[in-house]
Amino acid sequence: MNLRRLLLTPYHFAWALFSALFYDFPASKIVVVGITGTKGKSSVAEMLHAVLSAAGHKTALAGTIRFAIGADSKPNLYKMTLPGRGFIQRFLARAVREGATHAIVELTSESALQYRHQFLSLNALIFTNLQKEHVEAHGSFEKYFAAKYELGKELVASPKRPRAIVANTDDARGKNFLSLPVEERVPFSLADLDNLQVSEKGVAFAYRGTLFEVPQPGRFSAMNALAAIKAAEFLDVPLATCARALGALVRIPGRAERIEAGQSFAVVVDYAHTPDSLRALYGAFPNRRKICVLGNTGGGRDRWKRPEMGRIAEEACAEVILTNEDPYDENPERIVHDIMAGMRRPHSIIMDRRTAIHAALEKARSGDAVLITGKGTDPYIMGPAGTKMPWSDGEVVREELEKLLAKS
Q: What are phi and psi of 266, to 5 degrees?
A: -85, 140
Q: What are phi and psi of 177, to 5 degrees?
A: -70, -35
pLDDT digits (tens, 9 = 90+) for 55-101: 999 999 999 999 999 999 999 999 999 999 999 999 999 999 999 99
* Domains, the chain, with CATH or none: 3-247 (3.40.1190.10), 257-407 (3.90.190.20)
The pLDDT of residue 2 is 61
In contact, 336 and 353? CB cutoff 8 Å: no
The pLDDT of residue 301 is 83
Q: Which residues contact 132 (CB under 8 A, 6 or more apart)?
A: 141, 274, 275, 304, 305
Report the alpha-carbon distance of residue 253 to residue 220 in Å, rounded: 16
Report the alpha-carbon distance of residue 319 to residue 293 in Å, rounded: 9
CA 53 to chain CA centroid, nearest Å = 20
Q: What is the mean pLDDT of each run of 10 residues along the chain (408 residues)?
A: 64 92 98 97 98 98 98 96 95 98 96 91 98 73 91 97 98 97 98 97 97 97 98 98 98 97 97 94 97 88 92 98 96 96 96 98 98 96 95 98 92
The pLDDT of residue 4 is 59
In contact, 67 and 98? CB cutoff 8 Å: no
User: What sign for the dihedral angle of Cα 259, 73, 295, 144?
Assistant: negative
Residue in 298, 244, 204, 292 with CA at minimum distance from that of residue 50: 244
Strands 184-188 and 102-106: unpaired
The pLDDT of residue 136 is 65
